[in-house]
Structure formats: C-alpha cells, structure tokens
C-alpha cells in the first residue's frame, strides 16, 4: 500500500511541477492572466504536499520494514537499529534522489511563499526555473531510479523489481525477503553520514533558488537589484549547509575511512567543494553589485556557475565519471543528468549574452583604484575561480582528457593538489586580510598600510610565540603567518567597531558587541566567518605539516612510542557481536603521555556478514586534546590467538581546530544572515540614528 501511495504521489507531483512551469510562463508571458499565474503558484504548494507524502511513504516503509519494496530490501535489514533505518532514506541512489526532490520542492515552496508578494514580476519565471529542476529530479525518480519498485516472482521463477505487477507474477514471502535483506552499506552506518548527506543536499538545492531568481531577472527584464536582495539570503543559507556538509564529510572520513586524514582530494569530495568555491565568490561579489552597481554580468555568471557546479557534483557522484570512494552511488542516471545540466547552462548563458548585448547589464561604475575594496573583491573572485579551475582540472579534466585523447588513464592525487593549490590559498588568505581594511571607490596603498599595522604586529608576535613553542619549520611559520594575519584583521576590525560604539554611545562592552552584530550583521558576521576560516587554516597547516605516523606490530604487553606518547597493546576481543549484527574485532590499548596513563583506546574492525559488498569497516581509536589527536588504526592481527597485532598510529597536531573552526564559521554565517528586518521598529530606528562610521 505504501508503495502505491508513494508512486501515485510522485506521479502527481511530477504533473503538478510541469503544470506550474506551463501555467506560470504562459500566464505571465502570453495570456497575461493573473489567475493562471496564481494557479501555477498553487501547483508549487501542491507539489510540495505530494512530495512530502511520497517521501513519508518511503520513510514509513523503511521504519516498518516493508521488504517487498526493493529499495527497503536493499538498504535495510531486520537487525538494523531504527536510527540507521531512518537514515537509509538517503542511503542509496533511488532514495537519495527522492529525498533531493523533496528538499528542492520544500525550498521552492518556501521561496515562493516568502517572495510571492514582494517579487511579483520575478516570481512566475523563478517558479518555472525552480519547478524545472524539481520536475527533472522527480522524472528521474519515476522513470529511472524508482524507489517504489517491488519484488515479484515471475511464472518462470525469475525475481524482478517493478512498479507494477507483471503478468502472472506473485509477491515473494515477507519472511524470505527479510531473511535476505541487504542492510545499509557499512560505510554509511556512522552518525556523520546521518547528517552529512542531508546537509550537502540542502546546500545543493539551496543554490538553485539564487539561480532561479537570476534567470527570472534575465527572462523578465527586471535587472534591478531585486533578484539579488531575494537570492543573497538563500545563497547564504545554501552556503552554510554546504559548508556544514563538507565539514561533516571530513569528520566522517576521519572516523570511518581509516587513513588518519579528513580530506583525501577524492574527485567526489572535490565535486562538492567546487560549488562552495564559486558560491563563496558570488557571496563576495554580490556585495559590489549592491553597493556600487558593478559586476552585473559577472554575478550572473557566478550564479549560473554555482548552479552548474551543483548539478555537475550530483552528476559526478552518481555517474561513475571518475573513480572515487563514493562509487557506491553510481547508476545509469549519468547521461540524463549531463544532458539536463548542459541544456540549462546553455539556455542560461544565452540569456546573459542576449541581455548583455542589449546593454542591460552595464555597470554603473568603473574600477578606479587597484586597492579599492571592489578591486580586491574582483581579485578575490579571480582566485576562487582559479582554485575552481585547478581543482576541476585535477579531479576531472586531466583524467578525462588523458583517457579520451592520450589513450592512458591517470589519477591526480594529493601530490598534484598540494603542488597547485597552495599558492592560490596563500593569495586568498592575503586578500582576506587586506580587503576588509580597504575602502569602496578609491583607496590608497598608504592608507591600507596604516590599517594593517596592528594586525601585522600581532601576527609577528604570534609567530614569535610559535617559535618559542618549538616550531622552526620556515614553510609552516610562513603559512601560520599568512593565516593568522587574516584572522587578526578580523579581530582588530571587530574590536575597532566595538570601541567606536563605546566611545560614541558610552555603552558597556556587551551592549556594544550586540549592537555591532545586529546593526551590521553582514560585515561583522563576515569577520566571524573569516575567523572560522583562520582557525580551520591553522588546523590544516598543523595537521598536514607536523603529522607523525608509524606502523608497528606488537605482542600483547609490548609498547610503541610516537612523539610524546607511548601505546601499550593489552589484549584482543575477537568476534564480539553488536546489536545490529556486526561482528567486531577489538584491540585493547592503553595510552601514556610522559609516563602517565591518559586513555584506554579500542580501535576495531567491524565485519557485516549480511552486506554484499564493502562488508568491513575500520573504526579508529582516538585520544583528542586541544594540542593534537592520537589516532590509532587496527591494521592486522594474528588470527588464532591475537597474540600480536599491527597498528598504524598517527599524531595529528591541531586537527581539532578544523572542526572548531567549522563551528565558528557556521555561527558567523548565521550572524551574517541575521535579518535586520525582523528587529523591532523601535530598535531599528535607534540603530539607524547611529552614524555610519561608528
């Protein structure tokens, strides 16, 4: 029954999406009928309701173990806990596409509801674009990756998955299906995987909204800043989710993939990073259009670029375009997705060229000084694009071109990325330091020099502390210096703002801080984000340059030493059965620091007897401190007695800064996106009365 409800709801949602496109465009462009456009809007809401029903159907089927549905059979099993049964919704291709469609539908309904009155001219076209994306993904769900297919036994004895009952077929018995159910891919049975994919999807679908409004502006001819006002906040929401998705993905890799790192420059990781890079460039350059009426065409290209990168990332993950640790999501949807991406990008670029050729995207001002804020933002955008090019080339360009034209297959790994990207990241951090102290319009080098004196002095003092602390590697000190400079600029500028308020209004520090963030959330939220990026940068440098590792085989009672730690192998627990049916082999270790016992670690190898492929997982043992992580992986052990075992051990200095920096980045984004309009009128009026320079 749930399969039928899900399938019918999805089918009607598809029809509603197509109707919304036709009604909106025809009603606005040709029939000039408000009723028709309104009916298109209502179809958007109906689509959301139907997609909610469809998604809930599959979710309930998973929770109630309806194994006749082939998707439920392939991603869950009777021994799985409810938590993973819940997350199995996005545990494989068909479910994740349905979930993607549902989220996109929800975002579309939200964007329509919030902007219907204020953006009357843009809405019909924005709805058409948003619904085109929704319709495409629902179409994929219905015609290629249907999660509501059920198992049937044909008269010939063959078992097939089909949405409808084949002639003469009967359903297999529930008991038989439960017995043979696959269970979720072991790599996905991790808390990080419960949140990482939804966050990435929210980031991806969120970027469709700015794209739709940009295209609506081009289609309708309303090329004022209206589309930017609407889309900026959606872009910020998408950006924060995408950032969170990337950070959680890194944490998942660190905990589950068992190689002691969090970013492997894997093509699919990189594919998710690409929209983040262009999206970040857009969030910076959109400020120039708002403040100075510049970069109108460029911003359009960035919005299209971000959307294209989103679709490309989805395509790359699911098409098997290149080898990746994410290959579990491969399927046959590669070509339709590529065609969809290509057509939509082509139409979008044509719209830009058309409007631009009519002179409708002319900038209001020119770049006057190389040191003006807008010039530095342009440079910042260029560096983001350069990073995009370098990472895209390494992940997809070179492997594909070498295979197509040079008859050989190459994989560009960390080696390539660590040669090509560092100069660009250095430039980016330098710009992150100097752009906030530059002025709009015209600015001089002398003025900028004066503004960075204090941050530079603080950076020099910090580097001095690093040297005193024992860091002597020149490259690392240089890296720390560049990163810290950007961070100190953010701190000093914030402190300047607080002191200015205190001076003018005689406020206490706390009131000044609150007023600063509520009065100019974008600016000071932005500094907070820069601070988060700085902390991530420190963590990346520390954990990359100063990582120590060793691999040794120990007999029970023996120890190994690495850095300040000593690790003793105490014993082995073999074949421990967990509640979800996994078989665990656990090594028991004691960790000492300077001779003092600090932790008991239990690295283990999990084996999933019911899983058909990728049936084992390495779970590291880790002891985390502010200073570093002691991270140990069970590599191998003597099979019968476990009297000896081999361990791979890492010390990852400052690695926790990566996660903490991520948290600060999220808080900063929430501050930057805080809507001033929601403040009480009395407060807003009071704040407006404060002079701008304060």
User: Is residue 624 part of the contact set for other proteins (CB under 8 A)?
Assistant: no
Task: Write down the least CB distance from residue 296 to other proteins, Å.
Answer: 11
User: Is residue 353 part of the contact set for other proteins (CB under 8 A)?
Assistant: no
Q: Which lies closer to other proteins via its Cβ, residue 79 or residue 421? A: 421
Give CA angle at 286 (281, 289), nearest 5°.
135
User: Is residue 42 part of the contact set for other proteins (CB under 8 A)?
Assistant: no
Other CB atoms within a 10 A radius of the CB of residue 156 amount to 9
Beta-bridge partners for 551: 648
How many helical (H) and strand (E) elements, i.e. helices and strands, does the chain have? 23, 12
Three-state DSSP class for 322? coil
* CA pseudo-torsion sign 264, 266, 272, 277: positive
Beta-bridge partners for 408: none
Query: How far is C-alpha 426 from the chain's CA centre?
Result: 22
Tell me how many residues contact other proteins (CB under 8 A).
Answer: 51
Task: Write down the least CB distance from residue 329 to other proteins, Å.
Answer: 12
User: Is residue 422 part of the contact set for other proteins (CB under 8 A)?
Assistant: no
The single residue among 118, 176, 409, 612 that binds other proteins, judged by CB under 8 A, is 409
User: Is residue 324 part of the contact set for other proteins (CB under 8 A)?
Assistant: yes
Other CB atoms within a 10 A radius of the CB of residue 333 amount to 23
The single residue listed with the structure tokens 């300047």 is: 496
The single residue among 332, 473, 549, 627 that binds other proteins, judged by CB under 8 A, is 549
Q: Which of 299, 208, 212, 232 is nearest to 521 (CA)?
A: 232
The single residue among 144, 349, 420, 694 that binds other proteins, judged by CB under 8 A, is 420
User: Is residue 411 part of the contact set for other proteins (CB under 8 A)?
Assistant: yes
Find the Cα–Cα–Cα–Cα dihedral 530, 536, 541, 547, rounded to 10°.
170
Q: Which lies closer to other proteins via its Cβ, residue 420 or residue 598? A: 420
Q: Which lies closer to other proteins via its Cβ, residue 25 or residue 560? A: 560
CA–CA separation, 462 and 468 (whole Å): 10
User: Is residue 357 part of the contact set for other proteins (CB under 8 A)?
Assistant: no
Q: Which lies closer to other proteins via its Cβ, residue 156 or residue 408? A: 408
User: Is residue 641 part of the contact set for other proteins (CB under 8 A)?
Assistant: no
C-alpha distances in Å from residue 396, one per residue of 263, 337, 404 = 17, 16, 12
User: Is residue 259 part of the contact set for other proteins (CB under 8 A)?
Assistant: yes
The single residue among 38, 402, 547, 559 that binds other proteins, judged by CB under 8 A, is 402
User: Is residue 325 part of the contact set for other proteins (CB under 8 A)?
Assistant: yes
Task: Write down the least CB distance from residue 596 to other proteins, Å.
Answer: 26
CA R_g for the chain: 28
Binding residues among 570-589 for other proteins as defined by CB under 8 A: none
Contact region with other proteins (CB under 8 A), list: 128-136, 304-312, 379-387, 531-539: 379-387
User: Is residue 558 part of the contact set for other proteins (CB under 8 A)?
Assistant: no
Contact region with other proteins (CB under 8 A), list: 392-400, 485-493, 651-659, 686-694: 392-400
Task: Write down the least CB distance from residue 429 to other proteins, Å.
Answer: 18
User: Is residue 546 part of the contact set for other proteins (CB under 8 A)?
Assistant: no
Q: Which lies closer to other proteins via its Cβ, residue 162 or residue 327? A: 327
Three-state DSSP class for 436? helix
Task: Write down the least CB distance from residue 184 to other proteins, Å.
Answer: 19
User: Is residue 249 part of the contact set for other proteins (CB under 8 A)?
Assistant: no
Beta-bridge partners for 624: 629
User: Is residue 441 part of the contact set for other proteins (CB under 8 A)?
Assistant: no
User: Is residue 644 part of the contact set for other proteins (CB under 8 A)?
Assistant: no
Q: Which lies closer to other proteins via its Cβ, residue 34 or residue 358? A: 358
Q: Which of 577, 587, 579 is nearest to 607 (CA)?
A: 577
User: Is residue 339 part of the contact set for other proteins (CB under 8 A)?
Assistant: no
User: Is residue 282 part of the contact set for other proteins (CB under 8 A)?
Assistant: no
Contact (CB, 8 A) for 235 and 286:
yes
The single residue listed with the structure tokens 């008269």 is: 155
First to last CA, the chain: 64
CA–CA separation, 395 and 387 (whole Å): 12
Find the Cα–Cα–Cα–Cα dihedral 120, 125, 129, 131, rounded to 10°.
60
User: Is residue 186 part of the contact set for other proteins (CB under 8 A)?
Assistant: no
Q: Which of 442, 316, 433 is nearest to 380 (CA)?
A: 433
Q: Which of 303, 327, 302 is nearest to 316 (CA)?
A: 327
Tell me which DSSP letter residue 69 carries.
B
Contact region with other proteins (CB under 8 A), list: 60-68, 243-251, 405-413, 575-583: 405-413
Find the Cα–Cα–Cα–Cα dihedral 374, 376, 378, 381, rounded to 10°.
-130
User: Is residue 266 part of the contact set for other proteins (CB under 8 A)?
Assistant: yes
User: Is residue 267 part of the contact set for other proteins (CB under 8 A)?
Assistant: yes
Binding site for other proteins (CB under 8 A): 257-259, 264, 266-267, 322-325, 327, 358-360, 362-363, 366-367, 378, 382, 385-386, 389-390, 393-394, 397-398, 401-402, 406, 408-416, 419-420, 549-553, 616, 618, 646, 648
């Amino acid at each position: 029954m749930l399969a039928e409800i899900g399938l019918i709801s999805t089918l009607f949602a598809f029809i509603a999406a197509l109707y919304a496109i036709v009604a909106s465009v025809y009603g606005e462009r040709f029939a000039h009928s408000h009723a028709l456009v309104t009916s298109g809007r209502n179809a958007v809401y109906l689509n959301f309701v139907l997609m909610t029903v469809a998604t809930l159907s599959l979710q309930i089927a998973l929770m109630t173990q309806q194994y006749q549905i082939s998707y439920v059979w392939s991603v869950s099993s009777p021994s799985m806990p409810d938590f993973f049964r819940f997350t199995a919704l996005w545990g494989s291709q068909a479910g994740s596409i349905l979930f993607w469609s549902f989220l996109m539908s929800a975002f579309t309904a939200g964007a329509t509801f919030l902007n219907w009155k204020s953006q009357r001219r843009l809405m019909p076209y924005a709805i058409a674009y948003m619904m085109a994306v929704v319709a495409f993904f629902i179409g994929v769900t219905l015609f290629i990756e249907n999660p509501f297919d059920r198992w049937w036994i044909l008269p010939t004895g063959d078992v097939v998955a089909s949405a409808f009952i084949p002639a003469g077929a009967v359903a297999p018995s529930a008991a038989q299906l439960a017995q043979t159910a696959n269970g979720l891919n072991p790599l996905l049975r991790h808390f990080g995987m419960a949140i990482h994919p939804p966050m990435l999807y929210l980031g991806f679908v969120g970027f469709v909204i700015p794209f739709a409004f940009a295209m609506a502006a081009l289609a309708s001819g309303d090329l004022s800043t209206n589309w930017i006002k609407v889309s900026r906040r959606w872009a910020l929401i998408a950006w924060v989710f995408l950032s969170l998705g990337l950070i959680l993905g890194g944490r998942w890799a660190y905990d589950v993939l068992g190689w002691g790192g969090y970013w492997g420059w894997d093509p699919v990781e990189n594919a998710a990073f690409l929209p983040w890079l262009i999206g970040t460039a857009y969030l910076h350059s959109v400020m120039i259009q708002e403040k100075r009426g510049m970069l109108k065409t460029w911003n359009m290209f960035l919005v299209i670029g971000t959307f294209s990168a989103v679709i490309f990332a989805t395509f790359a993950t699911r098409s098997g375009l290149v080898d990746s640790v994410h290959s579990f999501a491969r399927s046959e949807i590669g070509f339709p997705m590529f065609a969809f991406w290509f057509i939509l990008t082509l139409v979008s670029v044509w719209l830009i060229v058309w409007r631009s050729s009519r002179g409708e995207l002319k900038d209001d001002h020119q770049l006057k000084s190389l040191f003006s804020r807008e010039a530095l933002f342009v440079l910042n955008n260029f560096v983001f694009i350069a990073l995009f090019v370098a990472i895209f080339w390494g992940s997809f360009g070179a492997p594909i071109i070498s295979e197509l034209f040079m008859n050989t297959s190459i994989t560009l790994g960390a080696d390539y990325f660590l040669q090509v990207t560092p100069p660009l990241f250095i430039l980016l951090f330098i710009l992150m330091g100097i752009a906030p102290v530059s002025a709009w319009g015209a600015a001089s080098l002398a003025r900028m020099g004066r503004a960075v004196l204090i941050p530079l002095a603080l950076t020099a003092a910090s580097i001095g502390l690093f040297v005193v602390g024992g860091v002597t590697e020149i490259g690392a000190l240089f890296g720390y210096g560049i990163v810290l400079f950007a961070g100190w600029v953010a701190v000093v500028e914030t402190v300047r703002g607080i002191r200015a308020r205190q001076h003018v209004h005689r406020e206490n520090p706390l009131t000044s801080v609150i007023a600063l963030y509520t009065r100019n959330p974008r600016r000071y939220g932005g500094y907070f984000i820069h601070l988060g990026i700085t902390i991530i940068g420190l963590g990346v440098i520390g954990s990359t340059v100063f990582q120590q590792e060793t691999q040794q085989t120990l007999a029970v009672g023996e120890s190994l030493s690495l850095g300040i730690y000593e690790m003793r192998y105490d014993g082995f627990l073999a074949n421990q059965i967990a509640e979800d049916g996994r078989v665990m082999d656990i090594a028991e270790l004691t960790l000492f620091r300077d001779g003092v016992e600090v932790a008991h670690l239990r690295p283990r190898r999990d084996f999933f007897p019911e899983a058909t492929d990728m049936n084992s997982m390495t779970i590291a043992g880790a002891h985390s401190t502010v200073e570093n992580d002691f991270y140990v992986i069970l590599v191998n052990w003597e099979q019968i007695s476990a009297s000896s075992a081999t361990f791979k051990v890492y010390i990852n200095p400052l690695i926790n800064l990566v996660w903490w920096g991520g948290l600060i980045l999220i808080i900063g984004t929430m501050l930057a996106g805080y809507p001033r309009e929601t403040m009480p009128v009395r407060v807003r009026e009071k704040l407006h009365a404060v002079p701008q320079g304060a």
